[in-house]
Amino acid sequence: MKKKNKKPDEGPSAERWMLSYADFMTLLMIFFVVMYAMSQVDQTKYNKLSQSLSIAMGGGKTIIGADNTSSVKDSVKTVDKPTESDQSEEQVKMEANKLKQLKKQVDSYLAANGLSQSVSSQIDERGLVVSLSNTLFFDTGKAEIKPEIQNTLMGIGKMINQMGNSIRVEGHTDNVPISNNEYASNWQLSCARAANVTQFLQNKVGIKPEKLTSVGYGEYRSVTDNSTDANRAKNRRVDIIIESNKFNSIERGNSTSSSTNSSQGTSQTTTTDQQKVNQSQQH
C-alpha cells in the first residue's frame, strides 16, 4: 500500500517572517517621512533655534557653522531693546511731564510777584503758552517794553530757557484801529512787539537765536470776541510758546512741504513764461 506524504507541520511560528517584514516596511516608511519633513525646515526658525542653542552653550560656533562672538549679556540687551516707536512715546511722556513742572514753576513765580492777573500760562497741543498782557508790558500804541517790567520778563525768560526747546513769540492785538503815525496797522504793531520780546530773550536772557521765532498776527487770532473792554484786553497780548518737540517737528515738516510746493510752482511758472518769450521771438 502506497504511503501518503504528510505536509510539514505548520505551527504558530510559521508566518512570523511576515510580521518582521511588515515592521521593516513600517520603519522604512517612517524614515522617509522624517527625511521629507527635515527637507522642509523653516530656515528662519532653524536659525533662531541654532542661535538659542549656541547662547545656551556659551557662544562659539552655531549649528549652521557661523561665528557667534556675542555674549549672553549682549544677546539679552538686543532682545530687550525697545523699538523706535516705544522710545518716541516715552520721550513724549517725559517732555509732557517737564512742561507740567515748568508750568508749576512759572505759576509760582507769578503768584509770588503778584502777576497772576496780568500773566497766565496754559498747556495746549503746541506746548506751554505764557501770555503777557500788553497793558502791563507796553504803553498804548507802542512796542518798547516798559523798563519797570523788564526784570519780570527776565525772570520768566530764565525759567522757560531751562528746557532748551524752541520758543515762538506771537504778538496779538484787539480790533480797534491804531491811531498813530508810527505804525500803519495793528498787524505792524503786533509784529514789532513780538520782535522786541524776542530780542530781549536773546540779548538779555541769553536764549540761542536759532531757538527763537517771532511772528505778529494783529487782531486775527483773538482768544475771545472784541465786544467788551474786558475781552479786548484779553486779546491784547504777547504769547511766549515753549514748543513741544513733537509739535515743532510737525511744524517744520509743514514748512518744508510748503516751501517745496512754492518752489515747484515758481519753477513751473518761470518755464511757462520762458516758453512764451521763445514763441514770440520765433514769430
Structure confidence at residue 12 (pLDDT):
57
pLDDT, tens digit (0-9, with 9 covering 90-100), for 154-212: 999 999 999 999 999 999 999 999 988 899 999 999 999 999 999 999 999 999 999 99
Task: Please report the sign of the dihedral spanned by the C-alpha atoms of residue 216, residue 218, residue 221, residue 222.
Answer: positive
- CA dist 144 and 138 (Å) reads 6
The closest of 210, 187, 214 to 198, measured between CA atoms, is 214
The cell numbers describing 40, all together, are: 522642509
Structure confidence at residue 280 (pLDDT):
45
- CA dist 265 and 117 (Å) reads 48
Structure confidence at residue 179 (pLDDT):
83
Structure confidence at residue 97 (pLDDT):
95
- Asked if residues 156 and 119 have their Cβ atoms less than 8 Å apart, the reply is yes
Backbone angles phi, psi at 54, to 5 degrees: -65, -40
pLDDT, tens digit (0-9, with 9 covering 90-100), for 240-250: 999 999 888 88
With a cut of 70, list the residues of the chain below it in pLDDT: 1-15, 17, 39-46, 48-50, 52-87, 254-283
pTM higher than 0.85? no
| Sheet containing strand 167-172, strands side by side | 119-124, 127-133, 237-243, 167-172, 212-216
The closest of 94, 135, 138 to 118, measured between CA atoms, is 135
Per-residue DSSP letters for 218-272?
TTSS-SS-SSSHHHHHHHSEEEEEEE-HHHHHHHHHHHHHHHHHHHHHHHHHHHH
Q: Which domains does the chain have, with CATH numbers?
A: 88-254 (3.30.1330.60)
